[in-house]
C-alpha cells in the first residue's frame, strides 16, 4: 500500500481507467448503439417507451467494468485504514467509498425492476377500444350555462405515415391525457358549485356548464363550438335545436392559437369569450376580438424580471429557446432589448416550431450542438405542449452546469421524475402570484367516479391507477376498485394537487361571469313591476357589455 502511494501509479490510474471506459463505450456505440422502441404488448392498455441496449454484451461489459472499479476502490479504501494518522484523508476515505459501493449495488435491483422507460409525459392506451370512440362531453344542467373548451386529451399516430382517417380502425395511435388541463375542468366545477351554494350570488338561479374536449386541428375546434351552440350532437349552424339553456359565455385556453381560432368565430355572434391561458397582446385587438377577455395578467414585467436576474448573478452570456409564433416573436424582441440594455449578450437564439407529436421525431438531433454552447444560462419561453420535443430530449440528456430559466406556463410537476441529476433539476421559473383558494384541494380529494359518474375522465383515471374494471361500451368502471381511492393518491409528477396558474384563471373567469349575470339580474328585477314579474333572461351580448 505504501509502495503504491509513493510511486507514480496514482498519477496514471485515473487516465488509464477513463481511457478503458471510453474505449468500451466507443465500441458499443460504434457497433450497436442504443435506440428507442415502442412496447404496446407487455402491459395491457399502455404503451411503454423502451430503451433498447443494442448490444447486451457491451452493456454488461460497461456495467461489469464499473463494478470492478467500485470493488477496487473499496479495497484500497479498506487497506488505507492502516495509514498513519497524519494522512488525514484516511479518516474519511473508507466511509465514503463504502457509501459509493452501497449506492452502486442498490442501483442494480432498481434498474432490473423497471422496463427501461423513458420519462415521457404521455399516457397511452392501445387496447381499450372505447377510447377510440370517446368524445369527452361533460354536461351539468342549469338555468344559465357556461361552456368550457379544454384540450383534455389528444390522439397521436404512432407511425408518421398513418392515415388519420384509418387510425381509429387500425388502433395505430396513442392518446395523451393532459391532466394539467383537467385540473382546469375541476376548477370550473368547483367554482360553479361554490356559486350555486351561495345565497348571495345569483339567488334562485342555478349555474350549469358544458365541457368539450378540443383536439388538435381548427376544424375539430370550430365543430365543438357549433355543437355547443346548437345543443345537439351534430352542429347546426345558426340554429338552437335544444330546449336547454343557451350558453352565455365560453372559456377557452390555455394555448394562444386555440383562443384565437375560437375568438374569430365567437366575435361574429358577439359571444363573450374568456381566455384563461397566458396573456397575449394579439388577442387584445378590439377590431378582431371585440368580445374576448383575457383573465391572465400581462407579462409586462417578465422580461424585466429575467433581465434583473441576469444582472444580479452576473450572467452575461445566455442562450434563448423561444416558441415560434407571434407571442414568441414579441417576447424575443422584448428580451433582446432588455438583455442588451443590461449588458447581457445572447449566444444563440433557437425558434422551436410547434408541431403535433414532435417528440416522436428525430428533429432534435439537429439542435444538439446548441446545447453544447459555452452559454451556461438557457432561457426558455413557451408552454408545455408547444415545446414538448425540447423538454423530452432534455430529460434524456445529462447536461451539467446549465442554469435553466423558464416562464410560468411550464408544467413543472409533469416532468419531475424525482431524480437529482435531472437536467432541469433546480430550474428557475417565473410565475404570477396567486392567492390560495380555500377548499379547492379538499374538492379534488373528494372527486371520484361515484360523485361524478358522467365524467369519463375520472373513470379512465381510476381504471389506469386503481385497477378498476372498465366497460368498453361507455368507458365507465364497474367494480374491483381500490376502496376510498382519491386523486391525492396519484404521484405528484402525474397529477399536482396544488392549483395551477391556469386553474386559478378559470376560477376567476367563472366568478367574473357570475358577477356579470348577478348585475344583469338586479337591473332587470329593478325595472319590473310586482304585477308583471317574469323569468330573468340572459343574453350573451348583454353579458359581454358587463364583463
| pLDDT per residue as tens digits for the range 96-151 | 555 565 555 555 554 544 444 433 434 444 334 565 566 778 888 888 999 998 88
DSSP 135-184: --EEEE--SEEEEEEE--EEEEESSTT--TTTHHHHT-EEEEE-HHHHHH
How high does pLDDT run on average in the chain?
74
CA distance 303 to 309: 10
Query: Within this chain, do residues 291 and 159 fall inside the same structural domain, yes or no?
Result: yes
Same domain, 353 and 317: yes
Q: Are residues 169 and 242 in the same domain?
A: yes
Cα 350–chain centre separation: 21
pLDDT at res. 400: 66
Average pLDDT over residues 410-426: 52
Does residue 128 belong to any structural domain of this protein?
A: no
Q: Are residues 9 and 88 located together in one domain of the fold? A: yes
Are 42 and 105 contained in the same domain? yes
**In whole angstroms, what is the distance from residue 508 CA to residue 184 CA?**
11
Gap between the Cα atoms of 423 and 420, Å rounded: 9
Residues 154 and 282 in one domain: yes
| Boundary of a domain, candidates 72, 97, 112 | 112
Coil vs helix vs strand at 403: strand
Q: How far apart are CA 306 and CA 312, in angstroms?
A: 10
Look at residue 185 and tell me whether its pLDDT is greater than 90: yes
Q: What is the pLDDT of residue 366?
A: 45
Q: 155 and 287: one domain?
A: yes
**Same-domain check for residues 271 and 193:** yes
Task: Let me know if residue 202 belongs to a domain.
Answer: yes
Residues 291 and 323 in one domain: no
In contact, 375 and 321? CB cutoff 8 Å: no
Instruction: Return left, alpha or beta for 202; rule: phi > 0 is left, psi -120 to 50 is alpha, else beta.
Output: left
CA angle 200, 206, 208 (to 5 degrees): 125
Domain assignment of residue 523, yes or no: yes
Tally the residues of the chain: 547
473 in a structural domain: no
Q: Is the pLDDT of residue 542 over 70?
A: yes
User: Measured between alpha carbons, how far is 496 from 413 in angstroms, rounded to an integer?
Assistant: 6
Verify that 152 and 274 share a domain, yes or no: yes
Span of 5-9, 69-73, 288-292, 374-378 with lowest mean pLDDT: 5-9
Cell 492502516 appears where? 82
Report whether pLDDT(437) > 50.
Answer: yes
Confidence of residue 274 (pLDDT cuts 50, 70, 90): very high
Phi, psi of 7 (to 5 degrees): -80, 180
CATH number at residue 172: 3.40.50.2300
Q: Which domain holds residue 145?
A: 137-297+488-546
83 and 156 share a domain?
Answer: no
SS3 per-residue string spanning 121-133: CCCCCCCCHHHCC
CA distance 267 to 288: 7
Cβ atoms of 494 and 176 within 8 Å: the answer is: no
Q: Which of the two residues, 423 and 266, has the higher pLDDT score?
A: 266
Residue 100 lies in a domain: yes
Residue 463 domain-assigned (yes or no): no
Give the rounded percent of residues in the chain with a pLDDT score beyond 90: 17
Q: For residues 43 and 40, give the distance between their C-alpha atoms in angstroms, rounded to a whole number.
A: 7
Containing H/E element for 208?
Answer: strand 207-213
Asked which of 49-58, 160-169, 420-429, 441-450 is least confident by mean pLDDT, the reply is 160-169
3-state helix, strand, coil in the chain (%, to 5): 45, 15, 40
Q: Measure the CA–CA gap between 290 and 78, rounded to whole angstroms.
A: 77
Q: pLDDT value at position 113?
A: 45
- Sequence-distant (≥ 6) Cβ neighbours of residue 383 within 8 angstroms: 254, 255, 277, 278, 323, 409, 410
The answer as to whether 265 is a domain residue is yes
Which of 81-90, 108-117, 183-192, 237-246 has the least mean pLDDT?
Answer: 108-117
What SS3 class is residue 263?
helix
* HSE value, Cβ hemisphere, 13 Å, CA-based, for 250: 33
Strands 470-471 and 476-477: antiparallel
Q: Which of the residue ranges 190-204, 400-414, 488-502 has the most confident prediction, judged by mean pLDDT?
A: 190-204
Residue 109 contacts by C-beta under 8 Å, 6 or more apart in sequence?
none
Between residues 90 and 13, which one has the greater pLDDT?
A: 13
**What are 58's three cell numbers?**
457491451
Give the closest residue to 447 by CA, choosing from 232, 182, 269: 182
How many domains does the chain divide into?
A: 3
Q: What is the pTM of this model?
A: 0.72
Whether residue 6 has pLDDT greater than 60:
no
Residue 456: inside a domain: no
Confidence label for 234 from pLDDT (cuts 50, 70 and 90) = low
- Maximum pairwise Cα distance, the chain: 111
- Confidence label for 258 from pLDDT (cuts 50, 70 and 90): confident
Eight-class DSSP state of 448: -
Burial class (CB within 10 angstroms; exposed 0-12, middle 13-18, buried 19+) of 376: middle
pLDDT at 83: 61
According to DSSP, the residues that pair with 221 across neighbouring strands are none
In this structure, the answer to whether residues 190 and 308 fall within a common structural domain is: no
Which of 9-23, 95-109, 399-413 shows the lowest per-residue confidence on average (mean pLDDT)?
95-109
CB distance 516 to 543 below 8 Å: yes
Amino acid at each position: 500500500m505504501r509502495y503504491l502511494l509513493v510511486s507514480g501509479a496514482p498519477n496514471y490510474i485515473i487516465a488509464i481507467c477513463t481511457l478503458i471506459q471510453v474505449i468500451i463505450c466507443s465500441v458499443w456505440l460504434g457497433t450497436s448503439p442504443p435506440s428507442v422502441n415502442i412496447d404496446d404488448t407487455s402491459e395491457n392498455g399502455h404503451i411503454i417507451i423502451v430503451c433498447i441496449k443494442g448490444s447486451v454484451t457491451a452493456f454488461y461489459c460497461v456495467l461489469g467494468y464499473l463494478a470492478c472499479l467500485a470493488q477496487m476502490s473499496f479495497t484500497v479504501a479498506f487497506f488505507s485504514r492502516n495509514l498513519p494518522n497524519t494522512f488525514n484523508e484516511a479518516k474519511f476515505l473508507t466511509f465514503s467509498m463504502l457509501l459509493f459501493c452501497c449506492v452502486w449495488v442498490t442501483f442494480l435491483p432498481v434498474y432490473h425492476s423497471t422496463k427501461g422507460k423513458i420519462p415521457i409525459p404521455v399516457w397511452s392506451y392501445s387496447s381499450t377500444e372505447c377510447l377510440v370512440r370517446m368524445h369527452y362531453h361533460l354536461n351539468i344542467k342549469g338555468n344559465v350555462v357556461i361552456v368550457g373548451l379544454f384540450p383534455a386529451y389528444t390522439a397521436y399516430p404512432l407511425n408518421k405515415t398513418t392515415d388519420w382517417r384509418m387510425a381509429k380502425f387500425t388502433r395505430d395511435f396513442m392518446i395523451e391525457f393532459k391532466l394539467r388541463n383537467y385540473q382546469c375542468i375541476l376548477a370550473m366545477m368547483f367554482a360553479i358549485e361554490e356559486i350555486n351554494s351561495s345565497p348571495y350570488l345569483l339567488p334562485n338561479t342555478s349555474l350549469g356548464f358544458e365541457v368539450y374536449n378540443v383536439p388538435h386541428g381548427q376544424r375539430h375546434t370550430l365543430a365543438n363550438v357549433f355543437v355547443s351552440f346548437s345543443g345537439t350532437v351534430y352542429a347546426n349552424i345558426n340554429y338552437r335545436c335544444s330546449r336547454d339553456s343557451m350558453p352565455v359565455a365560453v372559456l377557452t385556453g390555455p394555448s394562444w392559437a386555440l383562443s384565437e381560432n375560437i375568438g374569430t368565430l365567437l366575435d361574429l355572434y358577439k359571444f363573450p369569450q374568456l381566455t384563461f391561458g397566458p396573456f397575449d397582446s394579439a388577442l387584445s385587438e378590439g377590431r378582431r376580438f371585440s368580445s374576448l377577455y383575457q383573465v391572465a395578467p400581462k407579462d409586462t414585467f417578465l422580461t424585466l424580471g429575467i433581465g434583473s436576474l441576469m444582472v444580479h448573478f452576473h450572467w452575461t452570456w445566455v442562450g434563448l429557446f423561444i416558441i415560434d409564433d407571434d407571442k414568441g416573436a414579441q417576447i424575443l424582441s422584448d428580451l433582446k432589448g432588455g438583455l442588451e440594455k443590461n449588458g447581457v449578450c445572447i449566444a444563440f437564439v433557437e425558434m422551436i416550431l410547434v408541431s403535433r407529436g414532435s417528440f416522436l421525431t428525430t428533429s432534435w438531433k439537429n439542435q444538439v450542438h446548441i446545447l453544447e454552447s459555452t452559454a451556461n444560462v438557457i432561457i426558455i419561453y413557451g408552454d408545455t405542449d408547444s415545446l414538448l420535443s425540447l423538454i423530452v430530449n432534455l430529460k434524456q440528456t445529462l447536461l451539467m452546469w446549465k442554469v435553466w430559466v423558464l416562464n410560468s406556463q411550464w408544467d413543472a410537476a409533469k416532468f419531475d421524475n424525482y431524480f437529482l441529476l435531472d437536467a432541469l433539476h433546480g430550474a428557475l421559473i417565473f410565475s404570477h402570484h396567486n392567492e390560495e383558494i380555500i377548499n379547492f384541494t379538499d374538492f379534488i380529494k373528494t372527486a371520484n367516479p361515484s360523485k361524478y359518474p358522467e365524467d369519463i375522465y375520472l373513470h379512465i383515471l381510476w381504471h389506469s391507477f386503481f385497477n378498476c374494471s372498465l366497460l368498453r361500451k361507455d368507458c365507465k368502471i364497474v367494480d374491483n376498485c381500490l376502496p376510498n381511492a382519491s386523486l391525492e393518491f396519484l404521484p405528484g409528477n402525474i397529477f399536482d394537487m396544488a392549483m395551477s396558474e391556469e386553474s386559478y384563471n378559470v376560477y376567476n373567469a367563472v366568478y367574473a361571469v357570475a358577477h356579470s349575470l348577478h348585475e344583469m339580474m338586479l337591473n332587470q328585477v329593478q325595472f319590473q313591476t310586482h304585477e308583471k314579474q317574469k323569468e330573468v333572461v340572459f343574453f350573451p351580448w348583454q353579458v359581454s357589455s358587463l364583463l
